[in-house]
Structure 1
Amino acid sequence: MTYRAGVIISKILLVEDNKQNALLIRRVLEARDHQVIHAEDGESGLRAAMEEIPELILVDLGLPDIDGQTLVAFFKRTSELKDVPVVAVTAWPEDTAREMAQAYGCDGFISKPINTRTFPDQIAAYIAGA
Structure 2
Amino acid sequence: MARLLVVEDNPQNLKLAQLLLQRAGHTVFTAVDGESGLVQARAEHPDVVLMDVQMPGIDGLAATRLLKGDASTAGIKVVALTALAMKGDAERILAAGCDAYLAKPFQYSELVAVVDKVMA
> What does residue range 1-130 of structure 1 map to in structure 2 within 5 Å?
9-93=1-85, 95-128=87-120
Q: Among all aligned residue pairs of Structure 1 and Structure 2, give the percentage whose two residues are the same amino acid.
A: 34
TM-score (norm 2): 0.93
- Higher radius of gyration, 1 or 2: 1
* 3-state SS of 2:109 partner: coil
Structure 2: segments with no counterpart, 5+ residues: none
CA distance in 1, matches of 2:7, 2:53: 9
Distance apart, 1:121 and its partner CA: 1.7
Distance apart, 1:116 and its partner CA: 1.4
Distance apart, 1:95 and its partner CA: 3.2
Distance apart, 1:96 and its partner CA: 4.1
* 3-state SS of 2:84 partner: coil
CA distance in 1, matches of 2:67, 2:20: 24
| Count of residue pairs brought into register by the alignment | 120
* 3-state SS of 1:57 partner: strand
Distance apart, 1:98 and its partner CA: 0.8
CA contact (8 A) 2:100 2:114 kept: no
* 3-state SS of 2:73 partner: coil
Distance apart, 1:100 and its partner CA: 2.2
